[in-house]
Amino acid sequence: MKFDIELVGKIGSMALIDKERNMLDYSLIARLSRELRPGYIWVTSGAVETGRLDYINRTGEELTGTDEDVKTDYSAQGQSILMSTYRQFVDPKYSLRQVLVEHQHFNDDEKREHLKNMLLRSPSQNAIPIVNYNDAVSTEESRRFEIQSLKNKKAKVVECVDNDETASQIACLVKAKNLLIFTSADGIYKNPKDPSTLIKEIGGSTIQEVLDNITECENYCDGASRKGANGAKAKLEYIKDAVKNGTTVHIASAKYTIEEVLSDIAPCTRIGVR
């Protein structure tokens, strides 16, 4: 099977935060950034939390206002910090390109094609796209209204309510060989409280068998790492489209390197046709 992009990777907000020091984990971003290269597309969460921590460190207090306004303001503040941090540690011979997306970029054929072509041009231009959802300009109310309007017109709608979904849709868009989702856990567990129950593989001899086994594993998933997150069950649902496209999915802890996960050195949940 021919693939156009080697890897779409995604890291979650909580995996980016040093919880003991209540700040962005710069050493983790430095390590990951040094592995990024053309042929990789990186989806990064963390703008809102990064902006929140930066604001608190500068002012000594949290923002006040509606949840929507606070999220918007933190996101706008955090985006610049995330990009400057990635830029600081990615190999200087590579270009970095910030790509802020919304659900409309996946549900409109013309915008979808424009996004796809830009992403596919990047490897030949020695560039690495860094993708995030554009929280700073997209309100929850308007997003719900727009998505409902789309659902009234078409059966399948991309919502991008979570960057796991965004990463999976980008993997489909660019025909990625691998989709790597970094989290704060080693993968999917039969019992999240028991590390020995890590599911190392969700496979099958056919794509349909893999999809059926993913659905079965969703029964083991419950809860989420933070308010607003959708948890492991949602991750498994989101990656089904990528699996249908022939992509191999890896769900792993961000404490490991990209190479360790892709080469099966690190523990993770690997999902795909055997």
Tens of pLDDT, residue by residue over 41-62, are 999 999 999 999 999 999 999 9
Question: Which residues neighbour 74 within 8 Å (Cβ) at sequence distance 6 or greater?
Answer: 47, 48, 49, 50, 51, 52, 55, 63
230-253, pLDDT tens digit by residue? Answer: 578 999 999 999 999 999 999 999
pTM above 0.75, yes or no: yes
Domain 5-273 in this protein, CATH class:
alpha beta
211-226, pLDDT tens digit by residue? Answer: 999 999 999 987 544 4
Q: Return mean pLDDT, the chain.
A: 92
- Predicted confidence (pLDDT) at residue 139 exceeds the cutoff of 60: yes
- Predicted confidence (pLDDT) at residue 186 exceeds the cutoff of 80: yes
Tell me what pLDDT residue 161 has: 77
